[in-house]
Amino acid sequence: KQEVTQIPAALSVPEGENLVLNCSFTDSAIYNLQWFRQDPGKGLTSLLLIQSSQREQTSGRLNASLDKSSGRSTLYIAASQPGDSATYLCAVRHGNNRLAFGKGNQVVVIP
């Protein structure tokens, strides 16, 4: 069974600092990995999708890397802003037709 873990569970950073969020998964046989943002009581907004053959994806201030063999992905958010405060979820699509989610990294960016 695929298990996804996200560390740290919560973090606070001052505005302007770079954020580094970690995701690990137990089974490296994945199709892809997707990072989502979730605001309190809201839905999931897709941020980045990395296919299993890719090493990284970038969108604006966001960069996600994937090391499939070691079962890890990292989401970097450059020059954090208060609007980046949210929970960030990592999800892997693996052997069957479903996503396995981590519990999330809860981020607070302090102005």
Cβ 109 to another protein shortest distance, Å? 22
Which residue, among 49, 50, 6, 4, has the nearest Cα to 26 in the 3D structure? 4
Closer residue to another protein (CB): 80 or 107: 107
Contact 107, 18 (CB under 8 A): no
Cβ 2 to another protein shortest distance, Å? 11
Rounded to 5 degrees, φ, ψ at 83 are -70, -10
DSSP symbol at 83:
G
Cβ 16 to another protein shortest distance, Å? 28
User: Which 3 state secondary structure label does DSSP give 46?
Assistant: strand
Catalog residues that contact another protein under the rule CB under 8 A. 4, 31-32, 34, 36, 41-46, 49, 51, 89, 91, 93, 96-103
Cβ 14 to another protein shortest distance, Å? 27
Rounded distance, CA 71 to CA 27, Å?
Answer: 7
Closer residue to another protein (CB): 75 or 80: 75
Closer residue to another protein (CB): 11 or 49: 49
